[in-house]
Amino acid sequence: MLLTFMSAVYAEDIQVEVVKKKGNAYHFNMQFIAHASVDKVHAIITDYNNLTQLNPLIKKSRVLPHDVTGVTRVELVTEGCMFFFCKKIIRVEDAQIKDDLSIETQFVPELSDFKSGQTRWTFTSVEQHTLVNYQASMIPDFWLPPFMGPYMLKKQLRSQLHYTAKKINSLLLQRAQ
């Protein structure tokens, strides 16, 4: 199965799926091949104070003080527009590096514009590359215009995840030179 997937990924490069479930819940999955070792990819993803380098919609990222050992509290501020509707979105999440092959986060709703959410990054070494899998589920706690909301949000999420995957590979290439 991994060989079939690898062939598809090399041919298509990046796979992104965004699904809206009941209510306001959104689930998405991104898989791509990063052209570097797991540790190099991991270093970019966990550079929490510099996540703005991954996507122009991320306006600010920083590590916040937190008392729990082994957990890093990260604040992300994004700004995006869909037609005339622009929104600044704050997401605070507690990130835990489970091992060198996975990172899991839980959103902190009282500090975020989300009712709930979680993400999971997993990294699989494949020859000199890394198969990256990013899964997320979230329930926004902000209003989306009904005539464009869910469809446009899904479209924008798909586009931005694709951009982020390409940017990760671009940064890896720059660092290799």
The tens digit of pLDDT for each residue in 12-37 reads 478 888 776 667 788 989 999 999 99
123: domain range? 2-176
Q: Quick one: what percent of the chain has pLDDT higher than 70?
A: 86
d(CA 158, CA 139): 16
d(CA 177, CA 175): 5
Residue type for position 30: M
pLDDT mean across residues, the chain: 86
d(CA 13, CA 103): 22
* Token pair recorded at residue 121: 């990054």
pLDDT band, very low/low/confident/very high, at 147 (cuts 50, 70, 90): low
pLDDT recorded at residue 8: 41
Per DSSP, the three-state class of 49 is: helix
Convert the pLDDT of each residue in 64-96 to its tens digit. 999 899 999 999 999 987 777 788 999 999 999
Residue with tokens 């709703």: 109
Name every residue whose Cβ is closer than 8 Å to that of residue 92 and which is 6 or more positions away in sequence.
64, 73, 74, 75, 76, 107, 108, 111, 112
Mean pLDDT value across residues 115-131: 95
Contact 123, 91 (CB under 8 A): no
Q: Are strands 114-126 and 14-20 parallel, antiparallel or unpaired?
A: unpaired
Q: How many domains does the chain have?
A: 1
Mean pLDDT value across residues 41-55: 96
Question: Is pLDDT larger for residue 66 or for residue 11?
Answer: 66
Question: Is pLDDT larger for residue 162 or for residue 155?
Answer: 162
CATH code, domain with 135:
3.30.530.20
pLDDT recorded at residue 149: 61
Q: What is the pTM of this model?
A: 0.86
pLDDT greater than 60 at residue 6: no
> What is the b/e burial string over 68-98, where b = at least 16 CB atoms within 10 angstroms of the residue's CB?
eeeebbbbbbbebebeeeeeebebbbbbebe
pLDDT greater than 50 at residue 47: yes
Residue with tokens 């270093």: 43
d(CA 37, CA 129): 5
Per DSSP, the three-state class of 87 is: strand
pLDDT recorded at residue 9: 44
pLDDT recorded at residue 4: 43
d(CA 85, CA 62): 26
- Residue 139: how many CA atoms within 13 Å on its side-chain side? 9
